[in-house]
Each structure stands twice: as structure tokens, then as C-alpha cells.
Amino acid sequence: MNSFDAFKDPALCRSLLGRLTEEATTPMRFMEVCGTHTVAIFQSGLRSLLPGTITHLTGPGCPVCVTHESEVAAFLELAARDDVIVATFGDLMRVPGPKGANLKTASAEGARVEVVYSPFDALALAKANPDRTVVFLGIGFETTAPTVAATIRLAREQSLDNFLVMSFHKLVPPALRALLADPEARVDAFILPGHVSAIIGVDPYAFLATEYGVPSVITGFEPLDILQALIHIVRMRRDNAPAVINQYSRVVPEHGNQKALAVMAEVFTPVDALWRGLGVLPQSGLAIAEPYAAFDAFKVLGITLKDHPPLPGCRCGEVLKGKMPPNECPLFAKACTPATPVGPCMVSTEGGCAAYFKYRLEA
């Protein structure tokens, strides 16, 4: 038995589930923000066991899923350049862009695209290919950004002049604010992301309770974590005492990871950013700061984001805002499957559509 098994104890899970069922007497719509929570809720079987009063919504916490159509078009434009090697995490390879093109098809047509497991791998790729420019696609939230920032700083220390980053990093709190400002979203409570919170801490979420009166819990990914978070939420709503509770204190420091926050603040600067389904959100993205402009692929290579219409028929934007469950999309499990994804929510293993397909349709 390892330390994680204690958080899956069946007897404790049954006990907490019974308590939740007993106390959840009024309707509630909660959203899990993080794609890893999406998978954990399905994988553990919790979703089918929740009381009928509770509605579970998937949220915008999958970094691949929220990458905007215009951003996909930008990195496909980049891949078409003969002098560039694109370095990317594997989950971006099949994300569809304009006319269904993706990095996999670009690679088949001759583009040099390399799958890496960390930005440091991309740095090594640049050292091994001094005659080419290596561009790392920086996709992710606050969880990923510090490592990318540290890589950029290392590239400067090593005087590498053929390593660039195309930063599409996004920040979670502005997306939550946008969701709550949308009256159609109807989110009563949030389960907040454990990984992102390990970097930013608790304070950046305070507005959820103070400005919007929405109870929220930072929690882990095991069944007991999630059940305990839901009990906290039900009680906060019952007592009309909204707050942000850190249930995941074994991992999440109250004030975040100061070293990670420092390197992010040194290398990146907040900017307005495009989100799939949510549009432009103020100060919700991270661009490379001026002192590190020599590593900014947008500036060095002169690439700009251009308007692109949503993918025809794709409803990923509504899924990401909790307005539509994946299986109500007309394309779900028909034209759009994990083998033939129309939108990114079916591509990513953390996407809501992929989770619905794997754990509901096939179960």
C-alpha cells in the first residue's frame, strides 16, 4: 500500500459519499476547472455516484482545449518555414487548425516537427542543430510557465541564438472571472486546480468568494479529495458562507511557490490573450518580457495572430464554458471521435469530450 492508496479507501469513500448525499439537498452546478480533475472524476467512477441534486460541469482547464483557432493557425504557419524546427509536446500534434490541418499533417508534408517531453529537450535540440532555429510551442497554464521561463533564462545564460519560444501560456483566474461574468454559464461552485494552485497559492482566487459569492475548494485528484471538496462546497452554500478552502494543503502552499512565481515574473509579462470559446480575456496570457525579447518567436520571426473562424460544427467553446455537455454536441461520437477529432476537446486526453467518450460512451 502506498501513500496514495489512503486517499482511495473504499470504506471512507462510501462514508463521504453517504454524507454528501445526505447534505446535498438543494440543486447545485459545480465546475471542475482542471482537465486532470475531469479525468479523475470519470476514472474513479465518482460522476455516476454523485447525488441527483449535483450537476457536474467540465471547465476550461485543459491547455490544449483552450488554445484558440488563431493560435493553432500561427504555429502551423511557423511549421511551414524551411528554416525552423518546431518543438512541441505531443498532445498538440493532432489539434486541428484551418481546413483540418494539424502538425501531424504538416510533418507528413515535410515540416520538421519534433515531439519533446520538456522545454529543456527543445533547448538540447537547438544545441544539436545550430544551423536551424528551434521554436518551442509554449502551451499551458501557471503549472507549465515557470519551467519554460527557466529554460528561456538558461538559453540566455548559454548565449543560444537559435532557440525561440512561441508563448501561448494562459492564466486561470481571469478565465474564472470571465465565466462568472457570463450569466449563461450558471456555475454555483468551483473545484479549483491542484497543480496550478501549487504555483499560485490561494490568494489569486479570493475574488470568487468576495466578489461573486461562489464557494470554491482547491483539491487533489484522489476520490477522497474530490468528495471532501464537494462536502465543503455543499456546506458553504448551505451556510451562505462562501470562501476559498485549500483542501490540498499537503501540496499547495498558502502563498504559492515563490521561486516559480519569481522566474515567471522575470521572464514573462501579462497580456490580453485569446481563449477558445471565451474570446479575448484581459491580462489572461503571458508574453515574453522585453529583456528576453531575443527569445520571442513572434517578435524575432514577425509572426502575428490572424482572425480565423471557429471550426465548422465544433462546439468545444460551449463545452469549455459548461454550457453544453459533450455528448449533446451533434458531432459527438459521430463525425468527432478520438480517432477523427473535429475539435481539441476530443484530441486531448484531458479534454471533456475525450473523457465523455472514454468513460461514458464505452463504459
| The predicted structure's pLDDT at residue 115 | 97
pLDDT at 230 over 50: yes
Per the structure block, which three cell numbers stand in for 300?
A: 524575432
Which tens digit of pLDDT belongs to each residue from 306-316?
988 777 788 99
Q: How much is the average pLDDT of 56-77?
A: 91
Of 193-202, 245-254, 282-291, 351-360, the least confident: 351-360
List of residues 6+ apart from 249 with CB closer than 8 A: none
Q: Percent of the chain having pLDDT more than 90?
A: 76
Output the CA angle 296-299-300, nearest 5 degrees.
80
The domains of the chain are located at: 5-57+174-246
Question: Binning pLDDT at 50, 70 and 90, where does residue 363 land?
Answer: very low
User: How far is Cα 32 from Cα 305, in angstroms, rounded to an integer?
Assistant: 30
Question: For residue range 239-298, what is the model confidence (pLDDT) as tens digits?
Answer: 999 999 999 999 999 999 999 999 999 999 999 999 988 999 999 999 999 999 999 999
pLDDT band for position 360 (cuts 50, 70, 90):
confident
**pLDDT the model gives residue 313:** 84
Q: Report the DSSP beta bridge partners of residue 57.
A: 31
pLDDT at position 152:
98
pLDDT band, very low/low/confident/very high, at 361 (cuts 50, 70, 90): low
Residue 142: per-residue pLDDT: 96
CA 124 to chain centre: 26
Whether residue 5 is predicted with pLDDT greater than 90 in this model: the reply is no
At residue 116, what are phi and psi to the nearest 5 degrees? -125, 165
**Three cell numbers written together for 127:** 544545441
What are the angstrom distances between the C-alpha of 175 and each of 61, 250, 256, 272, 280?
A: 9, 26, 19, 11, 10
- The pTM of the full predicted model, rounded to 2 decimals, is 0.92
Least confident of 1-5, 284-288, 299-303: 1-5
Dmax (CA) for the chain in angstroms is 66
Is it the case that residue 17 has pLDDT exceeding 70? Answer: yes
Please give the pLDDT value at position 277. Answer: 87
Residue 83 identity (one-letter amino acid): D
Q: Strand, helix or coil at 329? A: coil
Q: What is the pLDDT of residues 135-144, one digit of tens each?
A: 999 999 999 9
**What rounded mean pLDDT belongs to the chain?**
92
Give the number of other CB atoms < 10 A from CB of residue 293: 12
CATH code given to domain 5-57+174-246: 3.40.50.11750
Cα distance between residue 187 and residue 215, in whole Å = 10
Q: What percent of the chain has pLDDT over 70?
A: 97
